Amino acid sequence: MNDQTSAGTASGQTRTGDKPARRPLSGAGIFFLRQREASILIAGILLVIYFQISSSAFLSGPNLGNLVQYSATTAIIAAGEVFVLVCGELDLSVGMVYALTPFVMFFAVSAGLPVWLAVILGLLAAAVVGLINGAVTTLLKVPSFVTTLGMLFLINGFTLTISGGFPVQPQAGAVFTGIFGANALALMAWAVVIALLFQFVLKKTRWGLHTVATGGNPHGAAEVGIKTKTIKTGNFVLCSVLGGLAGILDAFRIGSIDPLSGGTEIMFAAIASAVIGGTLLAGGVGTILGALLGALVLGILKDGFTLLGVSAYTFDMILGGAILVTMVINVRLTLLKERGGL
Amino acid sequence: MAEQSREVLRAEHISKSFGQVTALKDISMHLNRGEVLGLLGDNGAGKSTLMKIFTGFHQPTSGKLFLNGREVTLKSVAHGRQMGVECVYQDLALVNEINVYRNMFLQREPTRGGFLGILNDRAMRKAASEHLGRIGVNIPSVDAEVSKLSGGQRQAIAVARSVYQKSDLLLLDEPTAAMGAKESAQILDVIQRLREQGDMAIIIIAHNYAQVFDVCDRVNLVEGGKIVFDKPTAETSVQELTDLVVNEYRMARASVHEA
Ligand SMILES: Nc1ncnc2c1ncn2[C@@H]1O[C@H](COP(=O)(O)OP(=O)(O)O)[C@@H](O)[C@H]1O
Ligand SMILES: [Mg+2]
């Protein structure tokens, strides 16, 4: 009997219920995320219109350049932060890696190494920080909030020590400087290419899938044999390296390596971009493109308020409020998710 | 099939401690191909821990493990799978945020592009959909996110995932725990079919022994990390098992009253 019924469906598709098959429910999930990305896009466009009406300088070339410069490096860091958040962790130290990496590059060049090698050395140093973050978090079982908070202070102190607290000038040829973000277009290209690349990695590769599984169901992921510690550590390394790259790009753009640049401000901006973009702090859900849009919205806000003559203090208050509201929504969504309603 | 050994599993004097807690004490058992063993016992008796030793998730503190006649020291779940052990965990090990077909292939996804590991979604979707149809699992779509499925459907996916791998030893930890009677019957149906095919040995952990009794060849009762009862189903009955469990319960109550 059973054999007959199963033979009947063997070559066919999954049997559908008595009711007509509902369209793919995951479609709803994807739609939600798309919608999330779309709603940020719309918010961004509305803000642009508002600021353009308030100040005709908003859509001018130089101003857009400013905007891109602010958003691009934040978006690059946010891409790394999304991976860390999706696998269920948090990296607070990335802003300090952003400040440290160009110094490592600078000292390597001063020691007579070619620039390209110096860049690689800088990124390697960043990777080592990520590796330590990952090892302490996964092997010693210290919550990543604590691990990376400690690392934040450690790296900051280290950077200030090796630099003596003074900025220096990066040295490289014009071509190299051009590629590494001396102009806004190059910088935006870096951000967009990185966002597209890592969106693909997150959604279409084994690494991305295992990152989602590790954050979505840590225990279950381990039970099916996913090396969750490796996944987490790898994502800490990825986040650090992207933080380091962002630091190098900004060093060339600004033409100065400042030990006080980046830090907690750019780290918070990156996490805020990720969260505004639809990444859940609870892990398992995130999008890189959303984070890119989130970074753009933050950039538009910052830039627009500057044009309107809103003081930096007021801006911080508005920004803080906006982030709080987004976080509240985020937490509500997380609760929904835990109840299986999402 | 001819050269496959008859005895799939043999465990000799397995013990397991977690620090101060001794979860298993001197467990010995064996299981042949085509046999289904029902593993009964109270909460905390050590059933899940024993399963996780067979899968390679835990390593025993002492004792020996033989698979297909050869002694093995399983280093990891991946190693256990290589040796032909599959498991449906009590907590299912499904990821809610991921769709059905990707869950079905989690950790052994077909990929392209070598080390890049680009997922072959098309192959997964097709294979998952055919396999679920074949064993008669009923879900709206393999594209559905697992969070959108009922408890029974999730359980069915988890069982289907394990059955898909042609394993020698299939371990099911409370496979009908989250289900209604009708859904349970569907899972037990799948198990019965696997039993008739006779290619693998199966261990079912169950609270509801009356439910699984019919598909088992043998029943073991675990108590305090030891096997205290071992009989073929032909020589016992649901009634005898009930008496055993009631007895255990009375003793537990008595000891609570004494204390
Ligand atoms: N990872 C672990 N660490 C410490 N103790 C554990 C662990 N896993 C199980 N135990 C303990 O071992 C005993 C048996 O648990 P378990 O095998 O889950 O029982 P069962 O599945 O029969 O309900 C329990 O006392 C439990 O608390
Ligand atoms: Mg259990």
ipTM: 0.78
Mutate to test the pocket of ligand 1, among B24, B48, B87, B222 (most ligand atoms within 8 A of CB): B48
Q: Which residues have CB less than 5 Å away from ligand 2 (the ion)?
A: B 48, 90
**pTM of the predicted structure, to 2 decimals:** 0.80
pLDDT of residue A183: 81
Q: What mean pLDDT is reported for chain A?
A: 85
Least confident of A92-106, A171-185, B125-139: A171-185
Residue B98 burial (CB count, 10 A)? 22
The H or E element containing residue B112 is strand B111-112
At residue A24 the predicted structure's pLDDT band, cuts being 50, 70 and 90, is: very low
Dihedral angle of Cα A241, A242, A245, A247, to the nearest 10 degrees: -100
pLDDT tens sequence across B105-138? 999 899 998 889 999 999 999 999 998 888 777 7
Domain residue ranges of chain B, discontinuous segments joined by +: 2-258
Cβ B15 vs Cβ B25: under 8 Å: yes
The H or E element containing residue B229 is strand B226-232
pLDDT of residue B209: 83
**pLDDT surpassing 60 at residue B2:** no
Residue contacts between A and B (CB atoms, under 8 Å): 135
Amino acid at B250: R
pLDDT of residue A8: 33
Residue A290 burial (CB count, 10 A)? 28
The closest ligand to the CA of B40 turns out to be 1
CATH code of domain A36-337:
1.10.3470
In the CATH hierarchy, which fold is given to the domain comprising B2-258? Rossmann fold (3.40.50)
Least confident of A258-267, A301-310, B182-191, B229-238: B182-191
Contact: B134, A210; criterion CB under 8 Å:
no
Please indicate whether residue B161 or residue A239 has the higher confidence score (pLDDT).
A239
Q: What percent of chain A has pLDDT over 90?
A: 54
Cβ A227 vs Cβ A327: under 8 Å: no
pLDDT of residue A333: 67
At residue A174 the predicted structure's pLDDT band, cuts being 50, 70 and 90, is: confident
Chain B residues whose CB is inside 8 A of the A33 CB are: none
Cβ A231 vs Cβ B100: under 8 Å: no
**pLDDT surpassing 60 at residue A28:** no
d(CA A50, CA B225): 69
On whether any CB of chain B is under 8 Å from the CB of A4, the answer is no
Contacts with A, B 94-153, CB within 8 Å: 94-99, 102, 106-107, 109, 111, 116-119, 121, 129-130, 132-145, 147-148
Q: Residues A307, A309, A314, A316: is their CA dihedral positive or negative?
A: positive
Compute, in angstroms, the gap from residue A306 CA to the centroid of ligand 2. 60
At residue A331 the predicted structure's pLDDT band, cuts being 50, 70 and 90, is: low
Contact: B95, A212; criterion CB under 8 Å:
yes
For residue B99, give how far its alpha carbon lies from the nearest alpha carbon of chain A (Å).
Answer: 6
pLDDT tens sequence across B210-258? 888 989 999 999 999 999 999 999 998 888 988 888 888 788 888 877 7
Dmax over CA atoms of chain A, in Å, equals 82
The closest ligand to the CA of B222 turns out to be 1
Contact: B141, A284; criterion CB under 8 Å:
no
pLDDT of residue A180: 82
d(CA A78, CA A289): 10
pLDDT tens sequence across B208-219? 788 889 899 999
Least confident of A127-131, B94-98, B158-162: B158-162
Compute, in angstroms, the gap from residue B148 CA to the centroid of ligand 2. 25
pLDDT tens sequence across A199-256? 999 999 999 999 999 999 999 999 888 999 999 999 999 999 999 999 999 999 888 8
pLDDT of residue B181: 78
- Ligand 1 pocket (Cβ < 6 Å) reads B 18, 21, 23, 41, 43-49
**pLDDT surpassing 60 at residue A18:** no
* Ligand 1 atom nearest to CA at B16: 12
For residue A202, give how far its alpha carbon lies from the nearest alpha carbon of chain B (Å).
Answer: 10
* Ligand 1 atom nearest to CA at B205: 21
